[in-house]
Amino acid sequence: MKHTRFGPYGGVFAPETLMASLEELEDAWRSLWSDLGFRARLSGLLRDYAGRPTALTHAERLSEEFGFELWLKREDLLHTGAHKLNNALGQCLLAQAMGKTRILAETGAGQHGVATATACAKLGLDCVVYMGSVDAQRQRPNVLRMQLMGARVVVVEHGQRTLKDAINEAMRAWVSDPQAHYVLGSALGPHPFPSMVAAFHEVIGQEARAQILEQAGDLPDYAIACVGGGSNAIGLFRAFLEDESVRLVGVEAGGEGIDSGRHAARFAGGSPGVLHGCFTWLLQDDDGQILPTHSVSAGLDYPAVGPEHADLERRQRARYESASDEVALRAFAALSEREGILPALESSHAVGWVMEQAQELQGKRLLVNLSGRGDKDLGTIFALRQEGASDAEVLS
């Protein structure tokens, strides 16, 4: 395998039993990504089935209120309600070209699982999705959506019962079934997944760059996105890497505060190590044991970040901040009430950071990737209200 790293990060830390599958995948990926027929079929599906290009929306009321110019890249408008379909369609097409008929996937917030189930239904592939029981409970509508599209959802009951544990089970299943293809849902894991997933999401930044030049007349001062594994963020950031005037900001899950230890902010509280096949920044103790994580958003509740983000931080090309649960909930309410857009709680972290930094960002043009819509999070929002939080605390 060649070019497996981003600076010191990335690599292939996988059991010998997976190496043949990873090498087969890399060969197919390199061949097909340069194949005009494959690219044309994917572009056609993204346009005619998924609904690309997605809109760029000027958030006029929030801009006026906070004194900056806020633009939202609307991945929430993509079919299935999040950016995840870009990668799911790409990988399922790739699997089909490789002769695979059985697809394995993991999911946290459920959006990647829904996207993979959707792609499999469209392309006639069998689909099995692994999901931690904590996430399955708080994202029940997405479990039902997956099942309605013919996917089998395997609920994981061990560990923290969240995204990390779902990935563990999906990778174990792949080891025992090399005739299947594992559709990893973020820009992490062993090579070639980080590069491949990022490439499938580059369309986000390519569209956003052209749209903001056309609609605003110039590049943004900041390009901002939430960062769990980091696929939506890297899809946005890659379009602006050569534009030194554009500052890149990734926003992690600050949970209940960095000092509390109940968060998923890898750059704020982590260190370099290996998890799920790659060397990157992660939350671990002094003995290298993975620490528990917490976030109100299931999609950010993960102890590692994609290796390309780790390298962007090392090179100081991107800056990584965090937003707490409370800040994300306030942003959810603000965008809902002032712009008529229900954002996913993941995306709400990015919007929340912008609102918290309004003083620093006065007069700046901001491009925020709205990675998904918030229908899936309504149960979480209203459960918090029922547990005793006031309307002001949860929805304002």
**Active site residue ranges:** 84, 106, 371
Centre a 10 Å sphere on the Cβ of residue 392 and count the other Cβ atoms it contains: 9
Structure tokens at 288: 């290298």
What is the Cβ-side half-sphere exposure of residue 95, based on CA atoms within 13 angstroms?
A: 28
CA 315 and chain centroid, separation = 22
How many Å is the maximal CA-CA distance in the chain?
56
Pairing verdict, β 181-183 and 102-107 = parallel
Q: Do 111 and 376 form a contact (C-beta atoms < 8 A)?
A: yes
Sheet containing 271-275, strands listed edge to edge, beginning at the edge strand earlier in sequence: 5-6, 9-10, 278-282, 271-275
Axis-axis angle for helices 111-123, 140-148 (nearest 10): 10
Quick check: helix, strand or coil at residue 104? strand
Measure the CA–CA gap between 322 and 94, rounded to whole angstroms: 35
Measure the CA–CA gap between 367 and 56, rounded to whole angstroms: 9
Element (H, E) at 24: helix 16-33
Element (H, E) at 102: strand 102-107
